[in-house]
């Protein structure tokens, strides 16, 4: 039986809560973020601000240059968590199968819900109405047979919208869907796909699985299925980690590699504390570092490994410095994890891989 999945996403959540609590802000461009005088960054902004080009992760100072009338408010995460809890309580009146992704979005499985004659569309409408009436903010929702399409759908008619993809509409919908809408396709992957002449999921369907694997590694298998609108991931009521990391934005740029490496002790101490809070079912698979330069370009590097190792982080940071020696405004380190509670994925195209190995041996 086809699943009935709803993805609910609050519209400009932090900013929406602030506008709700201060009616004087209604209709004005509003952002929540850091102090522009102290190298702050925008966490989120409302739609009036977006019309000026303001975006999340943008420097607050740059946002003010784009929109001099922008109101930048400091975040109040305790308040946002309380509001998120109210919304989660509303979700639970419709289903217990809920997978929160963050404070402002979640997947809901209503496949077997007896409410509203088991109509996922009507349930989504009821959720949106109840959040608006109870919490006084708006949410957008997407309804689809799986998580991938539900998340795409929730973004289709933002803000304050509802979009439904029925099982019968999946093939036609994904054929025309731009590949950049696929979760995990960033600028680099999109550029690679464009170089292959791939712009839509319909184009992507023409590439064999083995070719996708050759170009994109393990992500190629996921691309193969998502391009066809296939996603069998269940809504998980308890989420498990794939990584753990820490980062720090500095008031003054770290000008040299020596300055970068001097920050490692503090970052390592914070990362160790986070690792200590993990349960025993996680094992380390790799180490990674991240640098945001003072021109806001972000780069990263990683290496396989089985434990937290300062020397590896030093080596990765050195590689990034040698590649682009420039002042950094942010440094971060982290670990890639394997969850022993999660089953290992089988090789989903063993025949193609075996054929490729034979060809290579010949």
The binding site for Mg(2+) comprises: 9, 104
The question of whether 112 is a catalytic residue gets the answer no
Which alpha helices (DSSP H) does the chain contain, by range? 13-21, 47-50, 60-66, 77-92, 120-135, 147-154, 170-176, 187-195, 201-204, 209-216, 219-226, 257-262, 264-276, 310-323, 350-361
Strand partners, 177: none
What whole-number distance in Å separates Cα of residue 153 and Cα of residue 317? Answer: 39
Among 342, 288, 352, smallest CA distance to 319 is for: 288
What whole-number distance in Å separates Cα of residue 173 and Cα of residue 269? Answer: 48
Q: For the chain, how many helices (H) and strands (E)? A: 15, 12
**SS3 call for 100:** strand
Q: What is the C-alpha end-to-end distance of the chain, expressed in Å?
A: 45
The active-site residue out of 105, 125, 351, 352 is: 105
Which alpha helices (DSSP H) does 67-218 contain, by range? 77-92, 120-135, 147-154, 170-176, 187-195, 201-204, 209-216
The torsion angles phi and psi of 336, rounded to 5 degrees, stand at: -85, 135
Q: What is the DSSP string of 26-54?
A: TTS-EEEE--GGGT-BEEEE-HHHHTTT-
**SS3 call for 58:** coil
Residues forming the annotated binding site? 9, 104
The residues near 135 (Cβ < 8 Å, ≥ 6 apart) are 83, 86, 87, 90
Residues with catalytic roles? 105
């Amino acid at each position: 039986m086809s699943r009935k999945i709803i993805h609910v996403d609050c519209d400009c959540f932090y900013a929406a809560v602030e506008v709700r609590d201060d009616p004087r802000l209604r209709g004005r461009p509003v952002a929540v973020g850091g102090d522009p005088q102290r190298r702050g960054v925008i966490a989120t902004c409302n739609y009036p601000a977006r019309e000026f080009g303001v975006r999340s992760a943008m420097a607050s100072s740059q946002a003010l240059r784009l929109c001099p009338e922008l109101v930048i408010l400091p975040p109040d995460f305790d308040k946002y968590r309380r509001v998120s809890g109210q919304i989660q309580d509303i979700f639970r009146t419709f289903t217990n199968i809920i997978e929160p992704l963050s404070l402002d979005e979640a997947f809901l499985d209503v496949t077997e819900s007896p409410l509203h004659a088991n109509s996922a569309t009507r349930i989504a409408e009821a959720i949106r109405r109840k959040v608006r009436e109870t919490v006084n903010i708006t949410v957008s929702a997407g309804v689809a047979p799986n998580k991938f399409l539900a998340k795409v759908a929730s973004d289709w008619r933002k803000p304050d919208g509802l979009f439904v993809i029925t099982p019968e509409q999946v093939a036609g919908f994904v054929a025309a869907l731009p590949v950049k809408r696929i979760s995990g396709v960033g600028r680099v992957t999109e550029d690679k796909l464009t170089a292959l002449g791939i712009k839509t999921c319909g184009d992507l369907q023409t590439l064999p699985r083995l070719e996708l694997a050759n170009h994109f590694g393990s992500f190629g298998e996921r691309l193969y299925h998502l391009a066809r609108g296939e996603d069998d991931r269940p809504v998980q009521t308890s989420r498990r980690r794939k990584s753990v990391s820490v980062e720090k934005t500095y008031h003054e740029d770290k000008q040299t590699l020596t300055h970068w490496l001097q920050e490692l002790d503090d970052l390592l101490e914070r990362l160790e504390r986070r690792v200590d809070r993990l349960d025993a079912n996680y094992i380390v698979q790799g180490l990674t570092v991240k640098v945001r330069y003072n021109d806001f370009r972000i780069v990263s590097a990683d290496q396989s490994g089985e434990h937290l190792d300062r020397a590896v982080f030093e080596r990765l940071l050195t590689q990034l410095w040698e590649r682009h020696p420039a002042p950094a405004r942010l440094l971060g380190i982290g670990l890639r994890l394997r969850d022993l509670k999660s089953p290992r994925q089988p090789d989903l195209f063993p025949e193609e891989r075996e054929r490729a190995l034979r060809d290579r041996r010949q």
